[in-house]
Amino acid sequence: MLVINKPDLVLRGEGPDKTTLYFPIPLNDIKPNWGATTSGQRTSNYSWSGGFISIRGSFQRKQLTAITATANRGQHVITVSDASSL
């Protein structure tokens, strides 16, 4: 498991078409974390949070910039008014 809890850290690969993160064993097999739904059905708590890569930090209320265009699900680009603070 990789836990990132510091700012300004970038994971770099060889590009979107050349880099693959491969996890052949389910995380619950490595580090079990079982829970239950409201109806009592067994479920993995990793369905809701956590995973092989976890990014943690403090919640900041300060808005860094404004989103200026609609972004549809699955898009990889978000248009903002000023990216210098990101």
Helix (H) or strand (E) holding 55, with range, is strand 53-55
Number of structural domains, the chain? 1
Domain membership flag for residue 56: yes
Domain membership flag for residue 6: yes
pTM (two decimals):
0.53
Question: What is the number of H-type helices and E-type strands within the chain?
Answer: 1, 4
Q: Contacts for 3-12 with beta carbons within 8 Å, 24 or more apart?
A: 3/54, 3/56, 4/53, 4/54, 4/55, 4/56, 5/55, 5/56, 5/57, 7/57, 11/53
The span from the CA of 80 to the CA of 67, in Å, is 4
Domain membership flag for residue 14: yes
Q: What is the pLDDT of residue 30?
A: 92
- Between strands 42-44 and 53-55, the pairing is unpaired
Q: What is the pLDDT of residue 29?
A: 93
Q: What is the pLDDT of residue 39?
A: 94
Q: Which residues of the chain have pLDDT under 70?
A: none
Domain that holds residue 54: 1-61
Q: What is the pLDDT of residue 56?
A: 84
Domain membership flag for residue 9: yes
